[in-house]
Chains A and B, each alone.
Chain A
Amino acid sequence: MAYKNYCLVCGGTGCNANTGEEIYHELIKKAKELGVENDVQIVKTGCFGFCEKGPIVKILPEEAFYVHVKPSDAEELIKEHIIKGRIVERLHYSEDGQDVQERGKIDDMRFYQKQYRIVLRNCGFINPEDIEEYIGREGYQGLAKALTEMTPDQIIEELKISGLRGRGGAGFPTWMKWNFTKQAQSDVKYIVCNADEGDPGAYMDRSTIEGDPHSVIEAMTIGAKAIGASQGFVYIRAEYPLAIHRLEVAMKQAHEYGLLGKDILGTGFDFEIEIRLGAGAFVCGEETALIASIEGERGIPKPRPPFPAVKGLWGKPTLINNVETYANIPMIILKGGNWFASVGTEKSKGTKVFALTGKIKNSGLVEVPMGTTLREIIYDVGGGIKNGKKFKAVQTGGPSGGVLTADKLDTPIDFDNLVSAGSMMGSGGMIVMNEDDCIVDIVRFYLDFSVDESCGKCSPCRIGGRKLLNILDKIVDGKGEMSDIDKIKEISTAMRRSSLCALGQTTPNPVLSIINLFWEELLAHIKDKKCPAGKCKKLLSFSIVRDTCIGCGVCAKKCPANAIIPENCEPLPGKKKPPYFIDINKCVKCGECLTACKFKSVVKL
């Protein structure tokens, strides 16, 4: 027998700390006392994210949303809501100025609109290997509309109204790219999907293809009609086997249903897609390098112009968009550009998917309307920093992006705001750091990545990146000098000005952001030879406090380098054994002793 009501009590850390646990037990107690324990199941759930209003109690099926609930409210909730079926207005959530009638369901609440799924609309709902489920959720309806009711110009006009900008990072207006390719005169044109997702920490393109491969196929077919292409390529990296598999299955099914191939939907329109596997080179995400790679050449960029829209794959006009950009398009065509433009900010429309990772509680994929603030993403959707640590910074835009500090948390994110704040949107990786992270060390990691991924064609990128890395290595090793900062600036300027593609031009970005934002911490490394976060090994030393060491030797057993030995002396007064000490010359600074010592006698200096 199912219950009449389900009562969900938020069991997140915030609500729990704020009498959530008591409310839960009180509700169970009252339900029993009032004899309705068989009518309602009382459940403790994961965090609702709306911690500001907590503790929260939600009662289904009415979807009543009670905020700031106190244990003493339990009786009223049971008596009024469960027994009499009346909403307890006093506790029910309402937005500013809203009257009682308008208090709607969760879907209408502004807070829950912090996430709004356009790109990820089908991820987590449909079976990606069943085309009918995609069709059941409005799939291929946009294509049908584009093929039967719209001219190429109308399709492009709809994109223009929507204000969609390329989600690959640069934010170029999508309609313009489509229009350039459409206007280019050629017998053959190509359409390409860039699924070469290479930013450390970013995985939304992979997840989109894994969860909803048909949305990309549908969008590419719409694009083909708009620009007049009959052949498309999906360039995807070989290390995404599941995404490749799902895409292959989806393409096969689309063929069977006549939604891909010859005479699509009986309209006489032909379009084919092929998959091209990339070997996982970061630079191949750059469009000219990607084109070279599809052509079977080495994936190195070419100077632009000519842009691919004019002279791309095999010299023919080629339209290249990112996975996320494409995934928006079927809905724009189906629901209209105005619908899409109603979401987002003035200059950045729609939503953006972020891969929220790092020291965050709810890491995962987050899709929010443009204009949501970093604070809302990190604290409301992401649940805040793990283990009660302090927020230090958030890295956005991958290795080409920058770092944003706490004072930028209230920046509404969109393409332009992030750039003026000193970072960029990039493809949407968002890595949250806490006080334990050393910014110099992290930037060194990004730089190492960019240097590794440089294709080597142009010297500013190849040599400049390596030189910057050498300087940062020096700094984390405690050999940094003040003159290094001028060198960093000089090399960075040269790289920005003269590198061939965005990879080289943006490699110095993270390095420059430490000079701008974390000057004190950088100085500590260079001048004081100290790492404030305690991460840079060469700048650390471990020591045992003689007075508190009881001589148990646990640390010595854990030490992999046998660097900890007992002192050759009598036990100190009040102790049974002589204290231990660390031989600095043998110590490898792994920190095992620090975690092993129960008496906090090992300290990091």
Chain B
Amino acid sequence: MAKLTLADLKKIRDEKNKEMTRRDTDKDVQIIVGMGTCGIAAGAKETFSAFVDELDKSNISDVMVKQTGCMGFCSVEPTVRVTAPQMPDTIYNNVSAEIARRIVKEHIIGKKLVSEYVFDNPSRDIIAQ
């Protein structure tokens, strides 16, 4: 990667920004697993592998599985954020490997929330403003 100039920086921001906020297209399902120390201690690594494995098994390739830091809900780790087209942006709590597989089958494929594990996001995001 060559060194960035000011213009490059702005370009990356705009492209990435679009990519990260793109929700209502047909692809670009994102599964974001909270992998701070608290999440990993609660088993987020197994959760992460279960997502990757289940997606492989179901032959789904347009889903991005990513890691992130602590979402703040340490008492209900592992937590997972799922963004999928035409579905509400959802946070799931206590996502074990087994629940991860259910999320792939029900949320990603079946377009149906995995009822018992939905968590509400209580904070306001300054970036969206």
Binding site for B on A (CB under 8 A): 1-3, 6, 8, 10, 41, 43-49, 58, 60-61, 107, 112-118, 120-130, 132-133, 135-141, 144, 148, 203, 206-208, 210-212, 240, 242-243, 246, 256-259, 263, 265-266, 331, 361-367, 381
Residues of B within 8 A of A114 (CB): 122
Binding site for A on B (CB under 8 A): 1-6, 9-10, 12-13, 15-17, 19-20, 32, 34, 36-38, 40, 66-76, 79, 81, 85-88, 93, 111-113, 115-116, 118-120, 122-128
Q: What are 11 residue pairs bridging A and B, where the CB atoms are less than 8 Å apart in the complex?
A: A1-B111, A43-B118, A46-B93, A49-B120, A116-B123, A127-B68, A135-B13, A203-B37, A211-B69, A240-B37, A266-B3
Q: How far is the CA of A266 from the CA of B127 in the complex (A)?
A: 27
Which residue from A46, A124, A208, A257 sits with its C-beta under 8 Å from B71? A124
Residues of A within 8 A of B15 (CB): 136
Which residue from A137, A144, A210, A266 sits with its C-beta under 8 Å from B69? A210
Residues of A within 8 A of B112 (CB): 3, 41
Q: Look across to chain B and name the residue whose beta carbon is closest to the beta carbon of A265.
A: B6
Which residue from B20, B88, B115 sits with its C-beta under 8 Å from A137? B20
Residues of B within 8 A of A144 (CB): 6, 9-10
- Would B126 and A331 count as touching, CB distance under 8 A? yes
Known: A114-B122, A367-B123. A127 touches B16 (CB 8 A): no
Of the listed residues B12, B72, B111, B116, the one surrounded by the most CB atoms of chain A closer than 10 A to its CB is B72
Q: Look across to chain A and name the residue whose beta carbon is closest to the beta carbon of B116.
A: A44
Q: How far is the CA of A189 from the CA of B23 in the complex (A)?
A: 46
Which residue from A10, A60, A125, A138 sits with its C-beta under 8 Å from B88? A60
- Would B124 and A107 count as touching, CB distance under 8 A? yes
Which residue from A43, A259, A266 sits with its C-beta under 8 Å from B113? A43
Residues of A within 8 A of B10 (CB): 141, 144
Known: A44-B115, A266-B5. A121 touches B120 (CB 8 A): no
Which residue from B70, B115, B116, B124 sits with its C-beta under 8 Å from A207? B70
Q: Look across to chain B and name the residue whose beta carbon is closest to the beta carbon of A127.
A: B66
Q: Look across to chain A and name the residue whose beta carbon is closest to the beta carbon of B20.
A: A136
- Would A266 and B37 count as touching, CB distance under 8 A? no
Q: How far is the CA of A2 from the CA of B113 in the complex (A)?
A: 10
Q: How far is the CA of A113 from the CA of B122 in the complex (A)?
A: 8
- Would A124 and B34 count as touching, CB distance under 8 A? yes
Distance between A167 CB and nearest chain B CB, rounded to angstroms: 17
Residues of A within 8 A of B4 (CB): 257-259, 265
Q: How far is the CA of A48 from the CA of B122 in the complex (A)?
A: 7
- Would B70 and A140 count as touching, CB distance under 8 A? no
- Would A124 and B124 count as touching, CB distance under 8 A? no
Distance between B127 CB and nearest chain A CB, rounded to angstroms: 5
Which residue from B69, B126, B128 sits with its C-beta under 8 Å from A124? B69
Closest 8 interchain pairs by CB?
A211-B69, A136-B16, A258-B3, A124-B71, A115-B123, A364-B74, A365-B72, A2-B111
- Would A136 and B12 count as touching, CB distance under 8 A? yes
Which residue from B68, B115, B118 sits with its C-beta under 8 Å from A125? B68
- Would B9 and A135 count as touching, CB distance under 8 A? yes
Which residue from A43, A113, A212 sits with its C-beta under 8 Å from B115? A43
Residues of A within 8 A of B13 (CB): 135-136, 138-139, 141
Q: Look across to chain A and name the residue whose beta carbon is closest to the beta carbon of B21.
A: A136
